[in-house]
């Protein structure tokens, strides 16, 4: 199946002001990942990066679930990601021939900040997608389902890399080895989720945060994200040198002058991203 019911794309893309919203759109399957959805998700992430007017993105799901993981029904029928429509093939209406084409890779490498708005269950691939976002806000009724060990597999799309960095080795081991479902409140307590909102207020919270981020200097925010990413694998001296290089570039921008002027004039800044 290449589209959601009604002929809609399996990933929706919308821009409001400086904020893009990417919506996984297979609500009839709780947004389980198909090959077409994976292709369309990668395209949406790349679209965010190409659009200089977009300063923050939100990733969420249609219906009552965020993402139920890879579509097992399709896989068992031989048309899913684990079947005839494998990542390297052309089945299922799309093709992801290289590891660098995978949305989890492009998600990690994107410089635009992205917020996961967990409107429901995030399982398997869906949980890895959420972990790959910069920030996570969750509806009170949402659940995180790290049950890989109960299915005789491992987190295949970034979970083993992100989770220890988010919560530490011991807590990551507890979450992964036990494989217990986590409530939104537990996920916040562990530091996986930043904030929990009532179910009907989740998107308001996500949009408020995205709007606040988008009002800041976009070049500086993107530079911070690049430095966070690089700093995970750099020694302190090397990282400090990279910080100074970024700082020198930022101080030559119009946005830097606007930041100084707005501070001195005691007004809100109006950044142009240049």
pTM for the model: 0.89
For residue 270, what is the DSSP state?
Answer: -
**Mean of the pLDDT values across residues 237-241?**
96
Sorted by where each begins, the domain ranges of the chain are 5-215, 218-264
Q: List all residues 6 or more positions away from 175 whose beta carbon is below 8 Å from its beta carbon.
A: 146, 163, 167, 182, 190
pLDDT value of residue 90: 35
Whole-number percent of the chain with pLDDT over 70: 87
Q: Which residues of 174-200 are buried (b: 16+ CB within 10 A; e: fewer)?
A: ebbeeeeebbbeebbebebbbebbebe
Q: Exposed, middle or buried: residue 99 (CB in 10 Å: 0-12, 13-18, 19+)?
A: exposed
Polymer length in residues for the chain: 274
CATH class of 218-264: mainly alpha
178 near 144, Cβ under 8 Å? no
**Mean of the pLDDT values across residues 42-63?**
96
**Mean of the pLDDT values across residues 185-212?**
98
pLDDT value of residue 89: 39
Q: Which residues of 154-168 are buried (b: 16+ CB within 10 A; e: fewer)?
A: ebbbbbebbbbeebe
Q: Token digits for 186?
A: 């537990």
**235: Cα separation from own chain's centroid:** 26
CATH class of 5-215: alpha beta
pLDDT of residue 2 exceeding 70? no
For residue 49, what is the DSSP state?
Answer: H
**Mean of the pLDDT values across residues 144-148?**
92
pLDDT of residue 73 exceeding 80? no
Helix (H, G, I), strand (E, B) or coil at 92: helix
């Amino acid at each position: 199946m290449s589209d959601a019911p009604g002929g809609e794309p399996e990933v929706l893309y919308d821009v409001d002001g400086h904020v893009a919203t990417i919506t996984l759109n297979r609500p009839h399957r709780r947004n389980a990942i198909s090959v077409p959805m994976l292709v369309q998700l990668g395209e949406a992430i790349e679209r965010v990066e190409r659009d200089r007017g977009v300063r923050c993105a939100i990733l969420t799901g249609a219906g009552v679930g965020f993402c139920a993981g890879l579509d097992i029904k399709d896989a068992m029928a031989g048309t899913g990601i684990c079947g005839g429509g494998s990542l390297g093939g052309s089945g299922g209406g799309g093709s992801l021939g290289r590891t660098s084409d995978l949305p989890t890779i492009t998600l990690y490498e994107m410089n635009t900040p992205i917020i996961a708005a967990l409107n429901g269950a995030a399982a398997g691939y869906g949980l890895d997608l959420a972990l790959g976002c910069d920030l996570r806000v969750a509806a009170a009724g949402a659940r995180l389902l790290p049950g890989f060990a109960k299915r005789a597999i491992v987190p295949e799309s970034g979970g083993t890399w992100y989770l220890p960095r988010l919560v530490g080795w011991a807590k990551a081991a507890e979450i992964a080895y036990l494989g217990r479902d986590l409530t939104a409140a537990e996920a916040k307590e562990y530091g996986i989720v930043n904030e929990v909102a009532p179910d009907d207020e989740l998107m308001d919270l996500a949009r408020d945060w995205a709007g606040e981020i988008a009002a800041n200097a976009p070049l500086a925010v993107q530079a911070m994200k690049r430095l966070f990413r690089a700093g995970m694998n750099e020694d302190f001296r090397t990282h400090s040198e990279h910080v100074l290089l970024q700082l020198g570039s930022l101080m030559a921008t119009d946005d830097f002058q606007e930041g100084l002027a707005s501070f001195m004039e005691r007004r809100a800044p109006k950044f142009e991203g240049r």
